[in-house]
């Protein structure tokens, strides 16, 4: 083992260890301070574990670094057990990163809170890592041709997929939180992470020093990005309206009076005007939240639901921000008014006692609605 390799392994271990401990400590602290907001859904305890899985991914880096260090120190880095350990740790690391993306609100929609698609990608991760291991250790033909290690290509493609998902998620998150420059930097860091793995396929790509230097810079930078991410999460939770402080009152068709003290909104009237679809959708959420129990308090948003597209939720928020004329720092997000409780279901965040609906308006709605479940819902209560 060269001095350059030894320096890289030891730096990798201690930088990853410090980053993992910091992320884990932050997650526990955030979890304790904002427990009410993070667990506000009483029907399902949906605790945000994104930061936890990122810290676990860092701990896997630590274990991987120790395994590689002792493998080179004891000269068994070319044995099958060593390679098996590397690929196993790679599977677990990719798994934790993917599970973290499951909780990223601005991640691509096909993975955010989508258990089915996450499981499919996890299967792909396992199959790819196993195929790479088998090709590199049990293939009868030479897998290195024209300075290209063909056995490493599946793993590189998988890394490209995960890096693209991570880069998109980080950029969207920071951009929506007013930190576009951090979003651009995070994208560049993720690209650097991907480039650090090119030497696994292209044999003559760089040299020992430059490749290890790129890996150290990329991993250190990524840990810093994760720490900034956790800071923005704290700010987001601190500014998020609490369910028991918000009130909403439906006065007449198209008229709603709303109070959200955290956002500086006190007893302000919103006139939806000709946007009757938005008003009716908001009224449906309010009726279910006030009179329903369990799953009947929520609505399915999707092709199989009463509201066919999530765009309708976004339009409610956009229209509310426009009418209230809130500044960029105080504008409402969809998460401020609606809670995602899984399986395509969303629910209004206000507590039932803080929702009032004019009796005449309610009667008119029940007479005109196509879904007669609302009649039985209110009759029972």
Residue with tokens 């599970």: 99
Residue 374 has a CB neighbour count (10 Å cut-off) of 20
Q: What is the pLDDT of residues 114-164, one digit of tens each?
A: 777 788 888 887 887 777 667 666 654 555 667 777 666 777 888 888 899
Residue 368 has a CB neighbour count (10 Å cut-off) of 8
| pLDDT confidence of residue 247 | 93
Q: How many helices (H) and strands (E) does the chain have?
A: 13, 9
Intervals of the chain under pLDDT 70: 36, 38-47, 113, 132-133, 135-145, 150-152, 379-381
Residue with tokens 């028991």: 244
Cross-sheet strand order for the sheet of 345-348: 299-300, 345-348, 338-342
Q: Where are the domains of the chain?
A: 3-238, 243-380
Residue 62 has a CB neighbour count (10 Å cut-off) of 19
| pLDDT confidence of residue 46 | 54
Look up residue 145 and give its two tokens.
Answer: 């041709």
User: Exposure string (b/e) for 186-214, b if CB count within 10 Å is 16 or more?
Assistant: bbebbebbbbbbebbbeeeeeeeeebbbb
| pLDDT confidence of residue 145 | 67
What is the radius of gyration, based on Cα positions, of the chain?
Answer: 25
Nearest alpha carbon to residue 92 among 47, 61, 48 = 61
CB 330 within 8 A of CB 336: no
Residue 92 φ then ψ, to 5°: -65, -40
CB 223 within 8 A of CB 15: yes
DSSP 96-150: HHHHHHTT-TTS-TTTTT-HHHHHHHHHHHHHHHHHHHHHHHH-SS--EETTEEG
Residue 293 has a CB neighbour count (10 Å cut-off) of 12
| pLDDT confidence of residue 137 | 63
Look up residue 251 and give its two tokens.
Answer: 């006065």
Q: The domain 3-238 is classified under which CATH number: 1.10.10, 1.20.1070, 3.40.50, 1.20.58? A: 1.20.1070
Residue 240 has a CB neighbour count (10 Å cut-off) of 17
Look up residue 314 and give its two tokens.
Answer: 């976004």
Residue with tokens 């890996």: 215
CA torsion sign for 163, 169, 174, 176 is positive
Residues 6+ apart with CB under 8 A from 153: 201
What's 239's DSSP letter?
T
Pairing of strands 345-348, 338-342: antiparallel
What is the distance between the terminal CA atoms of the chain, rounded to a whole angstrom? Answer: 74
Angle at 157 between CA 154 and CA 162, to 5 degrees: 125
| pLDDT confidence of residue 153 | 76
**For the whole model, what pTM was predicted?**
0.79
Residues 6+ apart with CB under 8 A from 351: 243, 244
Residues 6+ apart with CB under 8 A from 220: 15
CB 19 within 8 A of CB 65: no
Residue with tokens 């993720």: 190
């Amino acid at each position: 083992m060269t001095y350059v390799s030894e320096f890289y392994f030891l730096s990798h271990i201690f930088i990853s260890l410090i980053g993992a401990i910091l992320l884990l400590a932050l997650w526990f602290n955030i979890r304790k301070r904002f427990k009410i907001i993070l667990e506000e859904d009483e029907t399902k305890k949906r605790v945000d574990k994104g930061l936890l899985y990122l810290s676990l991914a860092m701990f896997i880096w630590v274990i991987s670094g120790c395994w590689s260090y002792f493998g080179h120190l004891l000269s068994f880095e070319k044995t099958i057990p060593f390679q098996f350990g590397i690929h196993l740790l790679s599977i677990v690391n990719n798994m934790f990163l993917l599970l973290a993306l499951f909780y990223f609100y601005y991640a691509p929609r096909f993975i955010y809170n989508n258990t089915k698609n996450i499981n499919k990608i996890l299967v792909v991760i396992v199959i790819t890592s196993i195929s790479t291991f088998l090709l590199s250790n049990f293939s009868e033909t030479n897998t290195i041709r024209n300075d290209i290690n063909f056995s490493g290509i599946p793993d590189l493609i998988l890394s490209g997929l995960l890096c693209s998902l991570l880069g998109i998620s980080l950029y969207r998150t920071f951009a929506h939180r007013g930190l576009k420059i951090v979003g651009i930097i995070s994208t560049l860091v993720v690209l650097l992470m991907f480039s650090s793995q090119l030497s696994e396929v292209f044999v003559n790509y760089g040299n020992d020093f430059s490749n290890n230097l790129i890996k150290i810079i990329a991993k250190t930078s990524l840990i810093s990005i994760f720490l900034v991410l956790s800071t923005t999460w704290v700010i987001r939770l601190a500014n998020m309206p609490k369910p028991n402080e918000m009130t909403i009152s439906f006065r007449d068709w198209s008229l709603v009076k709303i109070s959200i003290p955290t956002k500086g909104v006190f007893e302000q009237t919103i006139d939806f005007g000709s946007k009757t679809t938005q008003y009716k959708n908001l009224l449906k959420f309010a009726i279910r939240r006030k009179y329903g129990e369990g799953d009947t308090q929520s609505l399915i948003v999707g092709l199989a639901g009463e509201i066919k597209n999530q765009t309708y939720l976004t339009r409610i928020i956009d229209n509310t921000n426009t009418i209230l004329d809130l500044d960029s720092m105080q504008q409402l997000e969809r998460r401020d008014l609606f809670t995602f409780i899984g399986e395509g279901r969303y629910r209004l965040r206000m507590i039932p006692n803080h929702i009032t609906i004019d009796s005449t308006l309610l009667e008119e709605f029940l007479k005109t609605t196509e879904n007669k479940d609302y009649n039985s819902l209110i009759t029972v209560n």
